[in-house]
């Protein structure tokens, strides 16, 4: 049997929740990792305890329906699991899918770490398609209400997250960023006006161009850098200050795509949920975020114990997240590592405060 008492103590050290909620969270996380699905019917079948699956299902449903989940407290817990206190690269993106006629569209801000990203703040958009400036500002304001601006090294985002008002707000708030922009955007540089691509035709990924002076774009001064990719497409970035490492920073944006894959088809199959209610979906995302963070930390710990050999294509046979997920699943089901010392070691990866 899993030592749920020690797990609950670890959760209580980080979350000021009622004891019954802590007990539920511990059992839900174990069931979620075991089943690799957010389908509540399947989770209910492996829920620890003597209750019947129907009772467990109702317990899950009541938690999502009735509990006023303190998202800020959980965000701080996830960042504590990450264990990095400053120098954060934030990635902004969204993940979406359809459930019947319902459009499920999450806007997410995450901290990039070790090739993936830890989700910190998010909310469900009430529409399909891209977010607007007000929604992005709200997400950043939620983040800045929990953490200090000085902890941020930069914010990265793809081409859909640009706009005059949005970039102006980021600049006014003195938030560093590297945003990808379209090659057709009109700028003025050294007295000449034209499409962005005109200055980057001969820049390559090996020798990117970083313009030494600011350009005028949307009536404001920004610094630009980028290159032309072998496909002929352009990778062009806008920053509020001179940023010689902009392309290196922007490359970390892929971490949030890795996160979304882990939450969905390569991990917990979030798209299999039958939940469509906005508040309940956001709570479910919160539970996934915490489970993901723990699994990834277990994977990093296993890497330190026994690094995996890269394959010929240069990639690992398993991601750190997947290795940690599989390790915990074996622990919870097969007893492969079910000795007290091993359990305490993986539990120790969660912070004490």
- pLDDT at position 335, please? 63
**Confidence band, pLDDT 50/70/90 cuts, at residue 292:** very high
Digit-coded pLDDT (tens) for 28-64: 999 999 999 999 999 999 998 889 999 999 999 999 9
Among the listed ranges 25-29, 45-49, 76-80, 89-93, which one has the minimum average pLDDT value?
45-49
| pLDDT tens-place string over residues 170-203 | 999 999 999 999 999 999 999 999 999 999 999 9
Mean pLDDT of 284-302: 97
pTM for the model stands at 0.94
Distance CA 150, CA 47 (A): 42
Whether the predicted pLDDT of 144 surpasses 90: yes
Alpha-helical segments (H) within the chain: 4-12, 19-35, 40-45, 53-66, 71-82, 133-144, 164-172, 246-251, 254-263, 278-305, 320-333, 340-347
| Residues 6+ positions from 69 with CB-CB distance below 8 Å | 283, 286
Q: What are phi and psi of 80, to 5 degrees?
A: -65, -40
Contacts of 251 (CB under 8 A, 6+ apart): none
């Amino acid at each position: 049997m899993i030592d749920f008492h020690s797990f609950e103590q670890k959760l209580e050290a980080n979350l000021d929740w009622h004891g019954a909620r802590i007990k539920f969270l511990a059992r839900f996380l174990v069931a979620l990792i075991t089943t690799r699905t957010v389908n509540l019917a399947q989770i209910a079948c492996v829920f620890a305890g003597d209750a019947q699956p129907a009772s467990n299902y109702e317990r899950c449903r009541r938690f999502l329906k009735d509990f006023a989940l303190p998202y800020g407290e959980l965000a701080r817990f996830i960042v504590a699991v990450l264990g990095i206190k400053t120098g954060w690269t934030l990635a902004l993106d969204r993940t979406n899918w359809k459930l019947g006629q319902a459009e499920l569209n999450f806007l997410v801000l995450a901290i990039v770490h070790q090739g993936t990203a830890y989700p910190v703040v998010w909310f469900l958009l009430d529409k399909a398609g891209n977010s607007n400036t007000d929604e992005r500002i709200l997400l950043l304001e939620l983040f800045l209400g929990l953490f200090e601006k000085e902890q941020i090294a930069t914010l990265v985002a793809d081409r859909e997250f640009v706009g005059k008002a949005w970039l102006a707000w980021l600049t006014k708030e003195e938030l560093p960023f590297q945003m990808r922009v379209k090659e057709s955007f009109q700028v003025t540089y050294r007295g000449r006006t034209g499409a962005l691509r005109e200055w980057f035709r001969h820049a390559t990924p090996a020798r990117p161009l970083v313009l030494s002076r600011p350009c005028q774009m949307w009536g404001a001064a920004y610094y630009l850098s980028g290159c032309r990719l072998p496909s002929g497409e352009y990778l062009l970035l806008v920053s509020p200050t001179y940023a010689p490492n902009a392309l290196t920073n922007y490359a970390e944006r892929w971490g949030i795509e890795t996160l979304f894959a882990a939450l969905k088809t390569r991990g917990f199959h979030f798209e299999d949920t039958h939940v469509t209610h906005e508040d309940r979906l956001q709570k479910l995302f919160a539970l996934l975020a915490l489970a993901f963070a723990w699994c990834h930390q277990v994977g990093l710990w296993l890497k330190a114990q026994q690094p995996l050999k890269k394959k010929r294509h240069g990639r690992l046979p398993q991601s750190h997240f997947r290795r940690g997920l599989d390790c915990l699943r074996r622990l919870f089901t097969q007893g492969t590592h079910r000795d007290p010392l091993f359990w305490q070691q993986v539990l120790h990866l969660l912070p004490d405060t």
